[in-house]
Structure 1
């Protein structure tokens, strides 16, 4: 199969920890919208719904439902997502970690706090990528933002829930810097995106998003978390991970394996 992405895009992902992909999933927008409709009608017990102080729209967050919804399975196994992931990670193998749905309805006064994904997770590996796929028009002022190059800092910051509370109070990690209070000190990047575009980023890249204060525009996004060569399971006693994967019996340091983490390529 010919290469999908330009070399410049792959280099940008490697150097900055984030890049934008235009129109790569245009043919899959309706499939993912249908899947999200089904998911919101039948959420997992672990789904979370946040509401701002102003009592506006909901911020709906759910994950690990791909095996329950045919639209999600269709996208994960039949779209070019795995091939794109392989090119970005420069990896022979691509494995599914999980999917993540994030819907900010109109007038959702709840921002997504600055964070890294990696410290939340029960997996690790030298090659990681999230594909954040908008299913609505997202203007620059409400898009996901990233601190360029932060994946190379060698830092792991304390995970927090999307309401700002710590996931683990005594995890030994430091608080994330106050990006909003000192934006001039960082290269903050973000893009206006359309349905079918994708923003690809390393699990270690710091990112966040403002509240959706639009009175009429919702922001639906489907995020696919992929892993490349030599992915390993991480088990830390007394530490809550998100997603938790309580049914997985792998030991700390085991190669990632099992029905929960299918190999998509390689």
Structure 2
């Protein structure tokens, strides 16, 4: 049985992010490596390179492959991840939203801009969590950085392109979504920034509304990581300006604002039940 510590749960609730030391065993880490290797050899239709041709390094991303890559599916269902997610969220149940592979090769100069995940997503609610699991040692200066407590005010920020940090070009005139502030140059924000030195097996868990970024990878080794995104009992469908990411409506999901998210698209993984695949 997975047991999240009280301090981890409290940090998640108050800061919007917590570190889970030793969440994955070496056996599960090896299974995750197998999944990432398969994903790199056979990218899915959502794969992207955020690095222009001819530039140093490579920033690779891909998502929504758990239904075709068995290793990712096994981790969602069998590794104890879903139980930990439910405990952090304070939810009786946990459901798959998607997984996201993020790899920065040595020398990659592209940084992931400050953003929060929820405005990209069709899922909204308080019971949400991304669990970011590195496959390589990650020093704090390469680790994603988070702005403590930024999930609490309910504010939504305009989604940004990872490649250049520009806002999505949708109509935000109703004021629901505001530009991401210049956090790096805000002296008052400096005391709220947090990151960690991580080893393989550790994980970061953060709320869909927590502001975060990720630095360049100027170290001599790769920075491979996978985020497993899940939601709980209170999550509902949210209409977004333009096309969300992942583009579930374009993939065939037809719902109205406030509808429950259906299990045929987003399977329940905790409490664990008999798997169908």
TM-score, normalised to structure 2, is: 0.91
What do the CA deviations read for 1:93-140 (whole angstroms, capped 9, x no partner)?
111100011000111110010000001001111211110000100011
How far apart, in 1, do the equivalents of 2:33 and 2:154 lie?
36
SS at match of 2:204: strand
CA contact (8 A) 2:147 2:189 kept: no
How far apart, in 1, do the equivalents of 2:264 and 2:168 lie?
27
CA contact (8 A) 1:159 1:168 kept: no
Instruction: Give the gaps of 5 or more residues in structure 2.
Output: 272-277
Q: Calculate the aligned-residue CA RMSD, in Å.
A: 1.5
Question: Closer, same or farther in 2 for the Cα pair 1:251/1:32, shift >3 Å?
Answer: same
Partner of 2:136: 136
Partner of 1:31: 31
How far apart, in 2, do the equivalents of 1:31 and 1:183 lie?
42
Corresponding residue to 1:205 among 186, 207, 210: 210
Matched, 1:218 2:222: yes
SS at match of 1:88: helix
Question: Closer, same or farther in 2 for the Cα pair 1:154/1:230, shift >3 Å?
Answer: closer
Partner of 1:239: 242
Partner of 2:125: 125
CA contact (8 A) 1:93 1:265 kept: yes
Following TM superposition, by how much is the alpha carbon of 1:260 offset from its aligned partner in structure 2, in angstroms? 2.2
Partner of 2:168: 167
CA contact (8 A) 1:52 1:109 kept: no
TM-score, normalised to structure 1, is: 0.94
Question: Closer, same or farther in 2 for the Cα pair 1:102/1:113, shift >3 Å?
Answer: same
Matched, 1:86 2:91: no
Following TM superposition, by how much is the alpha carbon of 1:169 offset from its aligned partner in structure 2, in angstroms? 3.3
CA contact (8 A) 1:167 1:240 kept: no
Following TM superposition, by how much is the alpha carbon of 1:54 offset from its aligned partner in structure 2, in angstroms? 7.1
Partner of 1:145: 145
CA contact (8 A) 1:171 1:239 kept: no
SS at match of 2:3: coil
